[in-house]
Structure 1
Amino acid sequence: MSDQGRTTGSYSSYGGSYGTSPYDTNNTNQPSRQTVKFLTAATIGVSLLFLSGLILVGTVIGLIIATPLLVLFSPILVPAAIVLSLIVGGFVFSGASGVAAIAALSWIYNYVSGNRPAGTDTLDYAKGLITDKARDVKDRSKEYGNYAQGRAQEATQGSY
């Protein structure tokens, strides 16, 4: 049994002969992949176009029906919409401010506790720049103070 070799050409897989794929493009009985892709895309596109047309028609009909009601109740609806939008905006701003405060406090806690949160290197660099500038201002003010004191002494000595 182990002496028997494989036979080529007679092995059948998925209905084809050995060495061929069921997806061969050379087979003229099957449509090409591009044709199937095009037909699928065209079918989906036409279906979606039809659905969008139906939605547009439904929206226009709903707007035609609702327009008299909107005109009739606009003195009540417009101020109510303005107040409602201000209330919603206030809640959103309040929530965003709370989230920002929690994030800032969390970052400060991590920084103080020794963890290195994102942006620490930039903060340390800025702190170094501010320290250097403060030292420069201090040195310049001492120099200017000494200069002013020397000028004042010169002025007072010259008046005697």
Structure 2
Amino acid sequence: MRDLLPEKEPSASQALAVATLLPLGGGLLALAGLTLLGSVIGLALLTPLLLLFSPVLVPAALLVALTVAGFLTSGALGLTGLSSIWYLLKQARGMVQKAPEQMENAKRRVGEAAQAARSRAEETKRA
């Protein structure tokens, strides 16, 4: 009976993708938010220093470099997190689209198993 109705479970690679990418995507989105928040706070705190030490260009260059690095890191982490979540959604949609086809296959196999059971029952009655 087990051969007639195979279990339709996600493959090992799909399970591994979900187990890996879901926390990774969420973590990267959280890191993107924290990095963006840190960049904005750093910019707000260091702007007065820029005004006080405006004759010195080193703090200005440092401020600009750190701000740009923060915004670029935030964007990269956010993009990576969103792309991994998008990949998971695409995989889930593919699994949902296959479900009706798998149900029809299962119904057909159950019908075949019932037909085989009826024919065996009739053979045992005749014997």
Q: Which band: TM-score by shorter chain? A: 0.3 to 0.5
Higher Cα radius of gyration:
1
User: Which has the larger helix fraction?
Assistant: 2
Give the structure-2-normalised TM-score: 0.35
Return the structure number with greater relative CO, CA threshold 8 A, min gap 6.
2
Give the structure-1-normalised TM-score: 0.29
